Amino acid sequence: MDFKNFINGKWCDSVSGKRFEKRNPANVDDVIGTFPESTPEDVEKAVEAARKAYKMWRQVPAPKRAEVMKKVGDLLVQRKKELAKIATREMGKILLETEADVQEGIDTAYYAFGEGRRLFSFTTPSELTDKVCITFRRPVGVCGIITPWNFPMAIPCWKILPAIVCGNAVVFKPSREAPHTATKLVEILLEAGVPEGVINLVHGPGGVIGEAIASHPGIDLISFTGSVEVGKRISELSSKTLKKVSLELGGKNAQIVMDDADLELALDGVIWGAFGTTGQRCTATSRLILHEKIHDRFVEMLVERAKKIKIGDGLKPETEMGPLVSEKQLKKVEYYVELGKKEGAKLVCGGKRYTENGCDKGYFYEPTIFIDVKPDMRIAQEEIFGPVLSVIKVKSFEEAIEVMNSTNYGLSSSIYTRDVVKAMKAIELIEAGITYVNAPTIGAECHLPFGGIKNTGNGHREGGWTVYEIFTEIQTVYIDYSGRLQRAQIETWKE
């Protein structure tokens, strides 16, 4: 099937006439379809349409804009299973997870519906008599939305729905690894009532389309989720036109298990955190920090459990872990596994491609566990984005926190302990945007802020009320009804 861009209210091919192919990572013989290999000229047309539509859309009352989000949520509910199958087929994770991915979109849509009647701002006293000080949230303009493949429905919804509720227009570039789900989302937005020009979809390579969006003077804001390297490039390009930029980048998340922890609960957490989505989450558990007193026992439990994970096509109900998304990602995982061996870490589980039970035509990789990992090893410092877990032994709570904070990332974190003092102290000392107590490093909810510190981003938080701060500007208004000139900081109140 040949899919199209959506620009200025019309489904259209790229001006280049070229197309790229998307195949199922569980079976490369399965061709999902072809998509436009777009050019900067296509971006130009999308921006032109968005700028025109923005002038109209920003004047629609926010509660009316939000009513569209209610319809989006309703449509997502109706098509949840269909959309989950589409997402699994194009990016690989199991149906249980892609249904949750769509549910995140549903939750975000309904939250956006409510937020349209809030969009709160501040009223504050003036220092002068007969004067009022108020603020308003105003739309930013045209937003360039660039999303990854690992949450093909949730992450676009995190960004696009708040942007539209706030009165902005959107130019949307999804990942080349998840173009079909993106197309379906745009179809749903249109069916729900988003006007032509307010949403524009441009498929294509990040090196071409992403750069064109980031550097375009007609785009006022960039919201990007992806790698640190690409995020820095987007920031560099956007700075030339002083765009507002929101970056949600990588993670090297760790789960601490103390010697007083419920080990069965901690085991459930790390299996889900490390191998859910085949480790392809920015919040995935890629480091496991174990107290020495429970280290050997826990590793034994972990390896036994990991070896039982059922690998296969995510569309099959018995599958517990699907493929990596692409050959490129498979080769990256293979590189880091070899690197871990060379660094001196001990491989105790997995470590090779999985080709059994009909998996020989996909990008499958075994759940992989290293022990004897030192905190400064590259496999403990760099984001792998695959089913590879590095286990680090520590002697104390203090050392566990030190190891936790020893990377350039600060997205998600977790500690398992029955000691409330240690739990509260960990919350205080861990350098991360998200911390879980007795729960894995994955599991964010849409109504709470999501994001991190250090190389994980540039300080913004998606999700909850904070994402609406990204997609609005603050207008401060002073209303003086005194009938005379009043000078702030000069005049003083007189009785």
- Give catalytic residue positions: 248, 282
Distances (CA, A) of 463 to 106, 449, 467: 13, 5, 5
Place of tokens 């971006």: 43
The 3-class secondary structure across 260-313, one letter per residue, is CCCHHHHHHHHHHHHHHHHHCCCCCEEEEEEEHHHHHHHHHHHHHHHCCCCECC
Enumerate residues 6+ apart whose C-beta is below 8 A from 490. Answer: none
- Consecutive H or E run containing 98: helix 95-115
Residues 6+ apart with CB under 8 A from 494: none
**What 8-state DSSP symbol labels residue 166?**
T
Beta-carbon contacts of residue 242 (< 8 Å; ≥ 6 apart): none
Q: How far is CA 318 from the centre of its chain?
A: 27
Helix (H) / strand (E) element for 51: namely helix 40-57
Q: What is the DSSP letter of 457?
A: B
SS3 content of the chain, % helix, strand, coil (to 5): 40, 25, 40
Contacts for 269 with CB less than 8 Å, ≥ 6 apart: 255, 285, 414, 416, 438, 439, 440
- Residue 492: how many other CB atoms lie within 10 Å: 7
- Helix, coil or strand: residue 64: helix
d(CA 272, CA 337): 20
Q: Which helix (H) or strand (E) holds 123?
A: strand 123-125
Contact of 394 with 403, CB cutoff 8 Å = yes
Q: How many Å apart are CA 53 and CA 142, to the nearest integer?
A: 9
